[in-house]
Amino acid sequence: MQSPATRTPKLFRTITTATVTTSLHNPPNSTTTGNREAEQSCLALLHSCNTLPKLFQTHNYILKLGLQNNPLVLTKFASTSSDLEAIDYASSFIFSPRSDTRLYDTFLFNTVVRAYAQTTHSRDRALCFYRVMLGYGVLPNKFTYPFVLKACAGLGSLNLGKSVHGSVVKFGFDDDVHVQNTMVHMYCCCNGGINYARKVFDEMPKLDSVSWSAMIGGYVRLGWSSDAIGLFRKMQMAGVRPDEITMVLVLSACTDLGAFELGKWVESYIEKEGVQKNVELCNALIDMFAKCGDVDKALKLFRDMGGRTIVTWTSVIVGLAMHGRGLEAVSLFEEMIGTGVAPDDVAFIGLLSACSHSGLVENGRKYFDLMIKRFKIVPKIEHYGCMVDMFCRAGLVKEALEFVQNMHIKPNPIVLRTLISACRAHGELKLGESITKQLIRNEPMHESNYVLLSNIYAKMSHWEKKTKIRELMDKRGMKKIPGSTMIELDNKIYEFVAGDKSHGQSKEIYEMVDEMGRELKRAGYAPTTSEVLQDIDEEDKEDALNRHSEKLAIAFALLNTQPGTPIRIVKNLRVCSDCHSATKFISKIYNREIVVRDRNRFHYFKEGLCSCGDFW
């Protein structure tokens, strides 16, 4: 079926040809009263217009009455067309060669600009009509620029945004709070624009909840979650009451940081202040609890919630996957289908991830086929990635390789890196070396490819080759992403990297690390020195392991929390086997429940055991 935009030229020519003759034989009433009645008649028709055929009939009627240059009628026509996703059709009529544009006003242009700004495919035309507006000598008003700036935000063009900003200042609308708010949002959406956004924000004389939300949202989109939380705290000190949009953004930042205590505070604040709990806010709460370590709370919120969407179901399924509760995720997925909610591609990513993290290989195969055959969903690279990850975790490296070779789309670097890591973990080192070299040829400037090859050479004890790879990385200015661990304590987020000595309590932390090491050895712990991919003696390897970021964070928590208090940490990479083993011992020795969220999943350490059953 042709889109309205595709049909527009032909339809327009047909209607115009048919009606020009009609209007010649039936001239419109020239009296003011007659024109007013005709105008009101058209406006009423447009108000009730809810289909494209009705729109085309109304267009014909407008021409018949001779109102094709009436700004009020054309403004309503543009607005109605926008609602029916036919703004191209409207603009071809309003700005046809036969149009007399001398009476066109700001409101008409604003409506057209807004309509295009709201599209996903033609935002650039909003800027075109804004330029046409200025070219016709029609002056913009304070309502024009939020639409123009929204179009710039959608296009993500910083230079274009700065140019419009200049026009805002020129026409004197830079002190309007609505324009300023949209400008902050625009800069936040442009690559490299966050500092411009903050400058506009800081210079605003009056900040409302929309201003704060726009700036917080900019930080959240960039992944600057700590900055988002910091700004939210300033918002509270300024006495500005946040709305549900602000709370969704803050919960998103909590989720990213793993800031469980702050997330709980946000929930209590929402209840206390009576913030409207719309579906998006409920979904954000569920997602936060699921990804900050309390999936049972997420499940309770889910069960208590009415009007669930596919996002609601998917959030819980993904949460259960992260906690290694694959069978529960499968059961919930089946319940979702049973209630008549059709799964989308994202829901299947969550489900396949659950199968992967819980070793449910047969279930994964079944649901992958179900997705294609029953639900007619074409697999994306993310679905293929989940399947490869599932095979690799289960040690089925050859099957994973065969699956990759039979994929209907080209494997991306993430899929290949998953395969390489599995090769290293399961001793298929030659195969891993071959795939990594291919990856480096395809992505010569991606540092993680070199790190993978370096690690494989270390595993093979090819120290000279490993050294050459590291030297090549240095020569090309590449650096390995350092392992880091975050911990939330007393409403502050602390971050540690391996060997970190920047903390104010560094001396006490390293003393605690040494004490932990002695207690661990006494309890029978043996360091997994194979995790240290350096050509050094065993004693130095043990010392390097003790300086891993998660051990520093745990030592910090033991120093600064009451005995028996649960410890929650967030690791940016997959937890290594040595830290996993050591944390099991620490949980028993110090009688602590330790919750670790790594890049892939949650680990609950208690009384010397981990919830993952050593499968991660």
Residues 504 and 599 in one domain: yes
Q: Specify if 217 maps to a domain.
A: yes
pLDDT value, residue 300: 96
Query: Which residue range forms the structural domain that includes residue 587?
Result: 484-610
Residues 600 and 497 in one domain: yes
Residues 439 and 492 in one domain: no
Most confident of 86-100, 173-187, 495-509: 173-187
Q: Specify if 368 maps to a domain.
A: no
pLDDT score of 74 more than 70: yes
Which residue has better confidence, 215 or 426?
Answer: 215
Residues 501 and 523 in one domain: yes
Residues 527 and 583 in one domain: yes
**Average of pLDDT values for 199-209?**
95
Q: In whole angstroms, what separates CA 370 from the centre of its chain?
A: 27
Tally of structural domains, the chain: 3
Place of tokens 């069960």: 303
What is the pLDDT confidence band of residue 576, given thresholds at 50, 70 and 90? confident
What is the pLDDT confidence band of residue 163, given thresholds at 50, 70 and 90? very high
**Average of pLDDT values for 384-403?**
93
Q: Specify if 55 maps to a domain.
A: no
Q: Model confidence over 350-365: pLDDT tens digits?
A: 999 999 999 999 999 9
pLDDT value, residue 457: 85
Residues 449 and 495 in one domain: no
pLDDT score of 599 more than 50: yes
Q: Specify if 259 maps to a domain.
A: yes
Q: Residue 574: CA atoms inside 13 Å, Cβ hemisphere, count?
A: 11
Instruction: Report yes or no: 533 and 458 within 8 Å, Cβ to Cβ.
Output: yes
Average pLDDT value for the chain: 88
Question: Got the DSSP string for 119-175?
Answer: -SS-HHHHHHHHHHHHHTTPPP-TTHHHHHHHHHHHHT-HHHHHHHHHHHHHTT-TT
Q: Which of 24-33, 219-228, 350-359, 360-369 has the lowest mean pLDDT?
A: 24-33
Q: Model confidence over 245-297: pLDDT tens digits?
A: 999 999 999 999 999 999 999 999 999 988 889 999 999 999 999 999 999 99
Percent above pLDDT 70 for the chain: 91
pLDDT value, residue 223: 93
Residues 592 and 549 in one domain: yes
Residues 595 and 508 in one domain: yes
Q: Specify if 260 maps to a domain.
A: yes
Residues 537 and 594 in one domain: yes
Q: Model confidence over 442-460: pLDDT tens digits?
A: 888 888 888 888 888 888 8
Q: Specify if 141 maps to a domain.
A: no
Q: Specify if 362 maps to a domain.
A: no
Long-range Cβ contact pairs of 475-484 (< 8 A, separation 24 or more): 476/445, 478/445, 478/447, 478/450, 479/447, 480/447, 480/451, 481/447, 481/448, 481/572, 481/573, 482/549, 483/548, 483/549, 483/550, 483/571, 483/572, 483/573, 484/549, 484/571, 484/572
What is the pLDDT confidence band of residue 209, given thresholds at 50, 70 and 90? very high
pLDDT score of 543 more than 70: no
Q: What is the pTM of this model?
A: 0.79
Q: Model confidence over 87-139: pLDDT tens digits?
A: 999 999 999 888 888 889 999 999 999 999 999 899 999 999 999 999 999 99
